[in-house]
Amino acid sequence: MKNQSVLVEDGKIAEVGAGAVKSADETIDCEGKIVLPGLINTHTHLAMTLFRGLADDMKLEEWLKSRIWPLELKLTPEMCHYGALLGCLEMMATGTTTFLDMYFFMDEVAKAVVTAGLRAYLAFGAIGEEGSALELASKQNTKQFIKFLKELNNPLLKPAVGPHAPYSCSPELLMWSKEVAEKEHALLHTHIAETRTEQAQAQKDLGMREVEYLDKLGFLSPNLLAAHCVWLTKSEVSTLAKRDVKVSHCPVSNMKLASGGVAPVPEMLESGVTVSIGTDGAASNNSLDMFESMKICALVHAAHRWDPKILPAQRILDIATIEAAKALGIGDRIGSIEIGKQADLIIIDTRTPNMAPLSEENVISNLVYSTNGHNVDTTIVDGKTVMKNREFLTLKENTIYEKTAEYALALTKQNR
Ligand SMILES: [Zn+2]
């Protein structure tokens, strides 16, 4: 829509229409700019910003075992707090207003997100073999974190239950997680079929593929948002559709970790699976810029299928906004600029070389193929401006840069 105004009242979109809004306490002039619903990142590990550039050029299994797990052992709550602040800073700078995060020291992550003023679903990353101390600790941490969020009582933060993956969690832990998610009205979040190695291992250990295994367990449900889903058969795709499982497609991370295959996103969409986009953590991306992920998502499928029409720009933009909102179960509350929805808005500066020339003809194309996150000028979450004219209003960026540089240095020193 052209030459429209958006009125925000009490955190919600109260009016959308042509011409000037009757009256407002504050007016942001968007002349020559584009107002979009805030982007939604449905899979990330915020505090992994601390590992940015520290674990490149490796396959997932080597990346985890030789680099990430040893680094994670050294993490402290304070480090995760600042790592999460850096993640929030990058997200608001690049137009993401809502995200789904899974990690540990989640109390500290939650506090960082509250300071930033972003909307988030947060999960403690649970792991553990049957009957292990780790499994017990995961359950305790999950319950404790849900209690922490309830007491925090911040309307922007919602709990998610996050059993890490079918290969790192016992069946008991997976099903316990599902039950807790149902009881607490929380989202269920996990990783599925990220690599071929993982699927081969599942066939060896369980005698079946991961989706089949999870379905037999009774784990799959409409409340589940599964990250990756790269190495799936057609039958697994139809099982996901049948169980109404939502998917977070992470094209950049999958390419960087050389997962090899390309997630069957066209088949998922055709089967009716709700697909969204995740950046994954900054150790496997290495940015949290959803504009970049949108473009790469479009390119990887066109290249892989030899079909430039397979995922058009408008579809990609929908996937990163309204479809992602549906994936989180809040399609009626965010994801588009409509009266009654929460005012999660971003304003894009179009007076930049990469956006010109701009017309009604190419605006969607420019947003997906030539915009990058740093074209975002202003970010508004729940009606509150968190970045205005590229100035951060809720976060002290220099302190965050200094602290995270100090921690990254400490982590690599200890790791040598
Ligand atoms: Zn992940």
Per residue in 133-153, pLDDT (tens digit) is 999 999 999 999 999 999 999
pLDDT band at 58 (very low <50, low <70, confident <90, very high): confident
Mean pLDDT of 393-403: 98
* pLDDT for position 59: 83
Q: Mean pLDDT over residues 343-360, rounded?
A: 96
Q: How far is the CA of 165 from the centre of ligand 1 (A)?
A: 9
Q: What percent of the chain has pLDDT above 90?
A: 89
The token pair that represents 146 in the structure block: 């849900």
User: In this model, does residue 53 exceed pLDDT 80?
Assistant: yes
| Confidence grade of residue 414 (pLDDT, cut at 50, 70, 90) | low
Q: Measure 164 CA to ligand 1 centroid, in angstroms.
A: 8
Do 227 and 43 meet the contact criterion of CB atoms below 8 Å apart? yes
Question: Ligand 1 mean position to 59 CA, how many Å?
Answer: 14
- How far does the centroid of ligand 1 lie from the alpha carbon of residue 193, in Å? 11
Distance 1 CA to ligand 1 centre (A): 36
Would you state the torsion angle of the CA atoms of residues 361, 365, 367, 372, taken in this order, to the nearest 10 degrees?
A: -130
3-state secondary structure of 100: strand
Protein residues with C-beta less than 5 angstroms from the ion ligand 1: 280
- Percent of all residues in the chain with a pLDDT value above 70, rounded to a whole number: 98
Ligand 1 centroid vs 313 CA: distance in angstroms? 25
Q: How far is the CA of 44 from the centre of ligand 1 (A)?
A: 6
What is the pTM assigned to this prediction? Answer: 0.97
> What does the alpha-carbon distance between residue 272 and residue 265 come to, in Å, rounded to a whole number?
10
Convert the pLDDT of each residue in 224-275 to its tens digit. Answer: 999 999 999 999 999 999 999 999 999 999 999 988 899 999 999 999 999 9
The predicted-structure confidence for 161-171, as pLDDT tens digits, reads as follows 999 999 999 99
pLDDT at 20: 65
pLDDT-derived band at 62, boundaries 50, 70, 90: confident
How far is ligand 1, taken at its centre, from the CA of residue 43, in Å?
6
Using 50, 70 and 90 to split pLDDT, how confident is the model at 209? very high
CA 48 to centroid of ligand 1, rounded, Å: 10
Average pLDDT over residues 43-65: 90
Confidence of residue 385 (pLDDT cuts 50, 70, 90): very high
The mean pLDDT value of the chain amounts to 95
Q: Cβ distance 393 to 362 under 8 Å?
A: no
The reported pLDDT for the residue numbered 223 is 97
Q: Which residue has the tokens 């988030």?
A: 120
What pLDDT is recorded for position 413?
Answer: 82
Flag whether pLDDT at 416 surpasses 60: no
- The tens digit of pLDDT for each residue in 88-138 reads 999 999 999 999 999 999 999 999 999 999 999 999 999 999 999 999 999
In the reported structure, the alpha carbon of residue 180 is separated from the centroid of ligand 1 by a whole-number distance in angstroms of: 21
Statement: residue 344 has pLDDT above 90: yes
pLDDT, position 63: 85
